[in-house]
Amino acid sequence: MFEQLKTLPQDPILGLMKAFREDPRTDKVDLGVGVYRDEAGQTPIMTAVQAAERRLLGTETTKAYIGPAGAEGFNQLIGQLMLGAGHSALSDGRATVVQTPGGCGALRMAAEFLKLCRPDTTVWISTPTWANHIPLLGGAGLTIREYPYLDRTTLSVDFDAMISCLEQADSGDVVLLHGCCHNPSGADLDADQWAAITDLIERKGLLPFIDMAYQGLGEGLEQDAQGVRLMAERLPEVIVASSCSKNFGLYRERTGALMLIAATPAQGKAAASQLLSAIRSHYSMPPSHGAAVVELILDSPELAHQWQTELGAMCDRILDLRAAFSKALAPAGDFSFIERQRGMFSFLGITPQQVQILREEFGIYMLDSSRINIAGLSAATLPCVSEAIREVSGRTA
């Protein structure tokens, strides 16, 4: 049977990682891989996480399964982190939260749930979007349509084009939105735009599906959740996929959550039963360790304060890098969009040929689309990276 299979092309990001590892230059710079890096170029374990793990190892008494829904305490606390402890969707009993294997697990289980709700579900996805959105959702059998999101000239949200396109959506269609820190562009909706898209979704009877992968790394935990909280307050049904990979640094622990908000508690209970059935037929139970760590942190005032302080410092570092990078690139043109954007990612707006020159001549690695991880820069590398980009930008592509 296997002899009929053909080798698939390598994932671009994995290929870039391999090329970077094999590059012998000592001054090479990796701006491609989408993980947070500190000034030393490391992806550190947060101090609050280390403290929680020590407590967990000293108190954990079993490795028994935790059930398809995951840890009840984690689910309650992560729901409060997303919506705020006093949000009406929580107090009214309309919200159900389940633990998932990372944000990817949340996205895929949401897709499987939507397939159960309506087999011919259409999901509208932004152009551009995170590369794995379409495989995760389309792989469940959902119909994928795309709406314009980024103005390639200004590298800002093309909101008029977005709204105009979504006016074509039919009642019951699903709209996938990035809660904050849009990946890969860094261009986020502002408060007025969130209100306008909420109006459109309410008027047309659409279902918002929000990917909340970077809460706390844009402008702060509360600010980054404003769009999610607005929609959860105003709309009868909302789906939110959340990840602890970035804001807790738990990349390899695969810790995420999926929230379903229904119009009534009774509808929420029915929806939860269908979701749990889908989970049972896919991976059965989520992993425990990462969620136990997050639960310990959020349930301890001391650890929660420590974590928020660390996360705030990470957010501030990214904002500072954006301002410094934008200023350093200014002689080569208008790169002010970098400072206006949020989160770890931005497009530089240079050509694939210029990206290749940066890789070959300067050892600076980024995706061919010119998407870079801002957190991959440091005070030491930013000047040389900026100088190389200024030089290459001045060449004829």
Catalytic residues: 130, 211, 213, 246
Where does residue 324 rank: exposed (0-12), middle (13-18), buried (19+ CB within 10 A)? middle
Whether the bond between 44 and the residue before it is cis, its omega within 30 degrees of 0, is no
Closest CA to 88 of 193, 200, 236, 223: 236
Side chain identity at 18, as an amino acid letter? K
Q: How far apart are the first and last CA of the chain?
A: 46
Determine contact, residues 137/111, Cβ cutoff 8 Å: yes
Closest CA to 84 of 232, 306, 238: 232
CA distance 265 to 94: 5
Q: How far is CA 85 from the centre of its chain?
A: 22
Closest CA to 308 of 263, 316, 374: 316
Helical axes 102-117 vs 265-282, angle rounded to 10°:
120
Phi, psi dihedral angles at 220 (to 5 degrees): 140, 160
Closest CA to 259 of 229, 282, 285, 284: 229
Contacts of 375 (CB under 8 A, 6+ apart): 35, 36, 37, 314, 317, 318, 321, 344
CA distance 187 to 353: 24
∠375-34-378 over CA atoms, to 5°?
20
CA distance 138 to 239: 17
Q: How far is CA 193 from the centre of its chain?
A: 19
DSSP states along 48-59: HHHHHHHHHHHH
